[in-house]
């Protein structure tokens, strides 16, 4: 049997997830969003964190609650673990129903993000486009959500996003064609979500919106964390100043239960 962890128990789970170094994990453990599950409320030996479509497992992969946890998933997830033994457990539990992909993480050092460089990138907006901070109008625009359903999905509501999150969008003829937002928030910053309409790619729009978002965070003493799903995202991150740490495995799982 597994149990949902309350805020006091979440604070005890940090050592279990030390090796994963993902700010989405902090979002949950610090009580900002998401859920944590454990095998024992007094002395947990295994834990699960779920924030939106991202799931993380840590602890003893042989613990009694692991089988139940491995199927305690949203309909679609990106699931990440640290050890080969955990990977084996996932592959056994979801045999024939997962895809193992490569993602890329970066050093989480604010010193790598040069404000002057980012300010220069931010000014490179093509003629005919408008950069705006995400406000109530943009956040309610269906076109904004069509770009990425994850721009504000981890917040309780649009109002919650506007109060606790942050985002920038580029408009062309009043159409949202690119945006970068806080996928999640934690005490010291955000995790970035970014997307561009297919018809408006290769114009430098993602560079501009990401620069604006990062500068906003730096101005508030916050860190904008970047995690890349593909090589294109890696190139953009490096252009912005992020330093690649390395690739890691993630499991794309469509939960049929």
Give the tens place of pLDDT for each residue, 187-205. Answer: 999 999 999 999 999 999 9
Beta-carbon contacts of 215 under 8 Å, excluding residues fewer than 6 positions away, are 115, 118, 119, 122
pLDDT at residue 239, as a whole number: 98
d(CA 80, CA 219): 31
Task: Identify whether 247 is part of a domain.
Answer: no
Give the tens place of pLDDT for each residue, 25-46. Answer: 999 999 999 999 999 999 999 9
- Asked if the model's pLDDT at residue 230 lies above 60, the reply is yes
DSSP 136: H
- Interior angle at CA 185, CA 36 and CA 248, nearest 5: 70
**Span 58-71, mean pLDDT?**
95
Task: Identify whether 13 is part of a domain.
Answer: yes
Residues 234 and 120 in one domain: yes
| Number of separate domains in the chain | 2
Task: Identify whether 256 is part of a domain.
Answer: no
pLDDT at residue 257, as a whole number: 56
Residues 119 and 43 in one domain: no
If pLDDT is split at 50, 70 and 90, which confidence band does 256 have? low
Give the tens place of pLDDT for each residue, 70-123. Answer: 999 999 999 999 999 999 999 999 999 999 999 999 999 999 999 999 999 999
Give the tens place of pLDDT for each residue, 118-144. Answer: 999 999 999 999 999 999 999 999 999
Please name the residue ranges forming H helices in 94-157.
Answer: 115-122, 136-139, 142-147
Quote the pTM value. Answer: 0.94
Domain that holds residue 140: 108-241
Residues 62 and 120 in one domain: no
Query: Which residue from 135, 212, 217, 235 is spatially nearest to 176, judged by alpha carbons?
Result: 135
Task: Identify whether 218 is part of a domain.
Answer: yes
Residues 112 and 89 in one domain: no
Residues 173 and 98 in one domain: no
d(CA 39, CA 67): 11
Confirm if 209 and 168 have CB atoms less than 8 A apart. yes
Q: What is the CATH number of the domain that holds 196?
A: 3.40.630.30
If pLDDT is split at 50, 70 and 90, which confidence band does 67 have? very high
Q: What is the CATH number of the domain that holds 10?
A: 3.40.630.110
Record the tokens describing residue 55, joined without a space. 């799931």
pLDDT at residue 19, as a whole number: 87
Confirm if 46 and 39 have CB atoms less than 8 A apart. yes
Residue 72 DSSP SS3: coil
Instruction: Report the share of the chain in percent with pLDDT over 90.
Output: 96
d(CA 102, CA 80): 11
Record the tokens describing residue 76, joined without a space. 């679609």
In the listed set 41, 71, 105, which residue is the last one of a domain according to the structure?
105
d(CA 162, CA 160): 5
pLDDT at residue 29, as a whole number: 97
Residues 113 and 97 in one domain: no
pLDDT at residue 229, as a whole number: 94
In the listed set 54, 88, 105, which residue is the last one of a domain according to the structure?
105
Beta-carbon contacts of 235 under 8 Å, excluding residues fewer than 6 positions away, are none
Confirm if 49 and 36 have CB atoms less than 8 A apart. yes
Q: What is the mean pLDDT of the chain?
A: 96
If pLDDT is split at 50, 70 and 90, which confidence band does 255 have? confident
DSSP 88: H
- Asked if the model's pLDDT at residue 52 lies above 60, the reply is yes
CB-count exposure of residue 2 (10 Å: 0-12, 13-18, 19+):
buried
Residue 233 DSSP SS3: helix
């Amino acid at each position: 049997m597994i149990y949902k962890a309350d805020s006091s128990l979440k604070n005890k789970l940090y050592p279990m997830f030390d090796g994963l170094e993902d700010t989405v994990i902090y979002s949950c453990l610090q009580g900002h969003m998401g859920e944590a599950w454990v095998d024992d409320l007094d002395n947990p030996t295994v834990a699960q964190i779920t924030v939106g479509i991202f799931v993380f497992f840590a602890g003893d992969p042989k613990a009694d609650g692991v089988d139940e946890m491995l199927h305690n998933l949203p309909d679609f997830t990106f699931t990440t673990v640290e050890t080969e033994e955990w990977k084996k457990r996932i592959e056994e539990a979801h045999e024939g129903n997962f895809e193992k992909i490569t993602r890329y993480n970066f050093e989480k050092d604010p010193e790598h993000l040069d404000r002057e460089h980012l300010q220069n990138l931010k000014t490179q907006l093509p003629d005919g486009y408008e950069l705006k901070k995400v406000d109530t109008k943009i956040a309610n625009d269906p076109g904004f959500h069509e770009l990425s359903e994850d721009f504000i999905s981890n917040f309780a509501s649009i109002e919650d996003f506007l109060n606790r999150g942050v985002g920038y969008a580029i408009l062309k003829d009043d159409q949202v064609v690119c945006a970068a937002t806080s996928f999640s928030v934690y005490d010291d910053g955000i995790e970035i979500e970014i997307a561009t309409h297919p018809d408006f790619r290769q114009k430098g729009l993602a560079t501009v919106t990401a620069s604006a978002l990062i500068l906003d965070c730096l101005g508030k003493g916050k860190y904008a964390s970047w995690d890349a799903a593909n090589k294109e995202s890696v190139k953009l991150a490096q252009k912005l100043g992020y330093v690649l740490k390395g690739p890691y495995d993630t499991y794309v799982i469509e939960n049929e239960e």
